[in-house]
């Protein structure tokens, strides 16, 4: 049964990442605010522009051409043609199509920005964006073309061409069916319309698409951090690690918020376990045969994860500020009859934030990779079988070597994707007019790709962690059903992984028993798909 999401009011402020995700991915209905003050601001801005044209006032992008051609005067008779021509001038996107959820997120944010009432677009246009979202009409956009200065000009020009029905050359997805924009309007009972003064500029000149992609990537990264914590909790138990480094006392003496939160989260994950040293003994005790303390990847967990926790929280906050911004140029102060030429269209916060998000994803992947190597190596696993072999009575069993190799292939890609893009902008862009540019759109798309890679990576990591938990349970209890000694929180994640791959927990067999009884690619694909769609594995770590 499909979950019914509450209607999201769009009023130029108050949108959250969660509401954008709901509109973009889950079909939550979108409604323009009925607040008379909000609607009056929108209408006043549109009237202001029309009056300015009638009175012969010089306004950038209205009575002048665009960018480095701003010295070209546009006669009053051509001001509408200027706006309608822009969708053809900028129809130059390339590469693969952006996923529909990214486009829908961008549409929601463009609507929210215009609802601030400082851009000059008619309410009729805004209502059409609302209709597109609620009718499931999603313009085709491509993933190459925007440099993140003057916003996302090329993808938003494509969106605008679809919105007004410029031509069937502009394509849309209408509830899963591809068709031309004019045909889609006809099916929806709408007529093509022509843009008036400034409306083309108001629609195309903004950070909405990059910010929409960033909002989705940030939400996904939060889920992946939750899964990372769950993985580490499974790994700590499988490795018979100590909980002492997570103690509140330790964090009080290095009081970074992220470190404190990471330690607290891990303590919650491990509550009532019987598999860590404390869980087994009730207090910290030297293992006797092993090191008196765990290796850094276990002992320094709060200190390592802390900056990631803090960083992702900061990025989410910055995205939500951008979500609720007016990010085009010029901005209209209708109360004081002023026009402000400005640079709110620069997506620098998004570009820098997405560079950092990818870096944090790489850090998470590197940490996970080290834990897997500990579990796989008999020298460091505190007694687990080499390569996490299940049925050790079968001499040809090689265990999880393939899973480790998969992780070793993906982790370097994730750390490579952590390199910055925002500092690599071309200084000559658009006749040196856009001589600084954020590359926010490209950075956000790389973040989207990093998320997709990490979902595959996490699937393999969870297979290793659940297998290791089964093998530790055998050592502690004589059976392979780890639920009897895992903490309740990790038992839910453990069960979810087994449910997705179709393996019933058993005291007689571990998750992976004989090499020839399954293929890892199928198992990884099942878990990754479940994570991607927010299935039972994701739900097991939600809080």
Estimate the crossing angle of helix 301-323 against helix 257-270, to 10 degrees: 110
- For residue 440, give both structure tokens: 């926010």
Helix (H) or strand (E) holding 110: helix 100-114
Report d(CA 157, CA 3) in Å as an integer.
Answer: 33
Contacts of 199 (CB under 8 A, 6+ apart): 83, 120, 121, 122, 125
Whose tokens are 């990025």? That residue is 315
Contacts of 95 (CB under 8 A, 6+ apart): 142, 143, 144, 145
Partnered with residue 139 across adjacent β-strands are 172
Helices (H), 198-300: 199-204, 208-238, 248-252, 257-270, 277-281, 296-299
Task: Judge contact between 413 and 453, C-beta under 8 A.
Answer: yes
Catalytic residue among 60, 284, 359, 457: 60
Rounded to the nearest angstrom, the gap between the alpha carbon of residue 322 and the centroid of all alpha carbons in its chain is 15
* Residue 518: count of CB within 10 angstroms of its CB: 15
- For residue 403, give both structure tokens: 């899973």
Report d(CA 470, CA 463) in Å as an integer.
Answer: 11
Where b means 16+ CB within 10 Å and e means fewer, 200-210 reads bbbbbbbbbbb
Report d(CA 94, CA 165) in Å as an integer.
Answer: 21
With 0-12 / 13-18 / 19 or more C-beta atoms within 10 angstroms meaning exposed / middle / buried, residue 480 is buried
Task: Judge contact between 209 and 156, C-beta under 8 A.
Answer: yes
Report d(CA 66, CA 171) in Å as an integer.
Answer: 26
Report d(CA 519, CA 515) in Å as an integer.
Answer: 8
Whose tokens are 């780890």? That residue is 482
Residue 174 annotated in active site: no
Q: Which residues are catalytic?
A: 60
């Amino acid at each position: 049964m499909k979950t019914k999401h509450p209607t999201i009011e769009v009023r130029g402020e108050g949108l959250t990442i969660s509401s954008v995700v709901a509109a973009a991915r889950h079909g939550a209905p979108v409604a323009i605010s009925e607040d008379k003050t909000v609607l009056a601001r929108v209408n006043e801005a549109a009237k202001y522009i029309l009056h300015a044209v009638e009175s012969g006032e010089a306004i950038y992008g209205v009575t002048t051409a665009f960018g480095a051609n701003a010295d070209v005067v546009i006669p009053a008779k051509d001001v509408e043609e200027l706006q309608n021509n822009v969708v053809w001038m900028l129809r130059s996107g390339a590469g693969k199509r952006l996923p529909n959820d990214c486009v829908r997120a961008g549409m929601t944010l463009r609507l929210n920005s215009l609802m601030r009432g400082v851009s000059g677009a008619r309410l009729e246009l805004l209502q059409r964006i609302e209709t597109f979202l609620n009718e499931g009409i999603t313009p085709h956009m491509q993933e190459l073309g925007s440099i993140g200065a003057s916003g996302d000009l090329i993808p938003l020009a494509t969106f605008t061409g679809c919105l007004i029905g410029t031509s069937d050359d502009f394509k849309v997805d209408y509830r899963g069916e591809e068709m031309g924009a004019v045909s889609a309007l006809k099916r929806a009972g709408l007529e093509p319309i022509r843009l008036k003064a400034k409306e083309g500029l108001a629609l195309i000149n903004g950070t909405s698409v990059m910010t929409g992609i960033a909002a989705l990537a940030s939400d996904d990264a939060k889920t992946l951090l939750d899964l990372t914590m769950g993985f580490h909790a499974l790994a700590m138990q499988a490795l018979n690690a100590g909980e002492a480094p997570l103690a509140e006392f330790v964090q009080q003496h290095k009081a970074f918020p992220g470190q404190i939160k990471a330690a607290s989260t891990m303590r919650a994950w491990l509550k009532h376990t019987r598999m860590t040293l404390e869980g087994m003994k009730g207090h910290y005790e030297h293992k006797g045969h092993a090191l008196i303390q765990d290796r850094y990847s276990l002992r320094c967990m709060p200190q390592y994860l802390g900056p990631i926790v803090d960083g992702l929280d900061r990025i989410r906050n910055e995205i939500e500020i951008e979500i609720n911004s007016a990010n085009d140029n010029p901005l209209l102060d209708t109360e004081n009859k002023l026009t402000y030429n400005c640079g709110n269209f620069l997506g620098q916060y998004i570009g820098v934030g997405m560079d950092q998000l990818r870096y944090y994803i790489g850090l998470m992947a590197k940490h996970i990779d080290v834990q897997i190597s500990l579990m796989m190596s008999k020298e460091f696993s505190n007694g687990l079988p080499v390569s996490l072999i299940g049925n050790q009575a079968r001499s040809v069993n090689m265990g999880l070597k393939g899973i480790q190799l998969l992780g070793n292939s993906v982790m370097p890609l994730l750390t490579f994707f952590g390199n910055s893009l925002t500092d690599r902008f071309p200084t000559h862009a658009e006749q040196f007019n856009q001589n600084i540019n954020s590359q926010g759109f490209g950075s956000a798309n790389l973040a989207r790709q990093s998320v997709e890679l990490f979902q595959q990576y996490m699937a393999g990591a969870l297979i290793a962690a659940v297998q290791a938990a089964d093998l530790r349970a055998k050592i502690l209890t004589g059976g392979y059903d780890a639920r009897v000694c895992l903490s309740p929180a990790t038992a839910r994640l453990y069960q979810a992984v087994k449910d997705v791959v179709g393996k019933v927990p058993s005291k007689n067999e571990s998750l992976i028993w004989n090499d020839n009884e399954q293929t890892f690619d199928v198992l990884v694909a099942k878990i990754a798909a479940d994570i991607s769609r927010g299935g039972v594995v994701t739900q097991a770590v939600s809080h």
